[in-house]
Amino acid sequence: MPDQTADLSKLRGDCARCFGLCCVALPFAASADFALNKPAGKPCPNLQGDHRCGIHADLRTKGFTGCTVYDCFGAGQKVSQVTFGGQDWRTGPKEHARRMLDVFPVVRQLHELLWYLTEALGLPAARPVRPELRRALEETERLTRLTPEELAALDVPAHRHEVNLLLLRTSDLARSGAADARSGAKGKGKGKAKDRRGADLIGARLRGADLRGASLRGAYLIAADLTGADLRGADMIGADLRDADLTDADLTGAFFLTQPQLNAARGSAGTRLPASVTRPAHWTAGD
């Protein structure tokens, strides 16, 4: 089956087709990531009348790093243009605005699942579960097109649980090949992938570590030193990479890695990445 990476382009935020929903619906607190407090439902003071950010090019230098590591996975334009038919929250009735802002986080969660399912379908090792992945993808897409009332009542955790079970099976299939390659390189027999799910690796010294085929699902890698680490074929879903050093690390073939995760990390021109993500601009800007 051909690689599905191109399809992921539909699951990236398109601010030009969105009504700045993330800048209104989401709350943030004054911290290292945000320069001020903002409650949910209140527009960010940097949001302009055309729904564009007035400091977009300077977010990191003006104290809004948190904005640069966020991605709605295309939910913003789906809610703006499909769910609400292009009706702006600013011009519609108050109830319309409230419903739009309530629905946005729901669709965002569904679009994140679409990202993982789409990527999973492109993994060669996923062949045994592809029919199930396709059905899950189609059902998740159907859910994103429900009415605002139906979306507000949707049990997203239950659907996420079902999808996650399928993604776990996909991960086992994909990682086993990488683990075998690691064992083969060491002259051993059939390998077993390392399981670091949910591991506390905050500040861990993993420079040059062999993590091929490892499960790093939900692992806390905040400020970890992964310089030169081999992460080929690793499952990165939910891994917290805030301020992790990925300088010269090899993430070729790593899967379920999202752009927000990378944007929160540090890296270099020598960091090797899967085709599903792009090199963050601040990696080469000295930030």
183-196 pLDDT, tens per residue? Answer: 555 555 455 668 99
CA 280 to CA 210: how far, in whole Å?
24
2-26 in b/e form (b: 16+ CB < 10 A) is eebeebbeebebebeebbbbbbbbb
Please state the rounded mean pLDDT for residues 124-143: 97
CA 143 to CA 68: how far, in whole Å?
28
Residues in the chain: 287
Least confident window among 4-8, 86-90, 244-248:
4-8
Residue 5's pLDDT is 43
Which two three-digit tokens encode residue 251? 């993430």
Q: Which fold has domain 194-287?
A: Pectate Lyase C-like (2.160.20)
Please state the rounded mean pLDDT for residues 155-168: 97
Whether 114 and 137 have beta carbons less than 8 Å apart is answered as yes
Mean pLDDT of the chain: 91
pTM score > 0.75 for this model?
yes
Which two three-digit tokens encode residue 31? 């911290």
Query: Which pLDDT band, with edges at 50, 70 and 90, does 211 fall under?
Result: very high
Contacts of 262 (CB under 8 A, 6+ apart): 241, 246, 273, 277, 279, 280
Query: Which pLDDT band, with edges at 50, 70 and 90, does 279 fall under?
Result: very high
Per-residue model confidence as pLDDT tens digits over 55-80: 998 998 999 999 988 999 999 999 99
CA 4 to CA 116: how far, in whole Å?
11
- pLDDT at residue 180 is higher than 50: yes
> How large a percentage of the chain has pLDDT more than 90?
80
- pLDDT at residue 181 is higher than 80: no
Per-residue model confidence as pLDDT tens digits over 244-263: 999 999 999 999 999 999 99
Q: Return the number of other C-beta atoms located less than 10 Å from residue 283's C-beta.
A: 19
Query: Which pLDDT band, with edges at 50, 70 and 90, does 94 fall under?
Result: confident
CA 206 to CA 109: how far, in whole Å?
31
CA 236 to CA 152: how far, in whole Å?
29
Please state the rounded mean pLDDT for residues 13-35: 93
What is the residue type of 241? L
Q: Return the number of other C-beta atoms located less than 10 Å from residue 196's C-beta.
A: 21
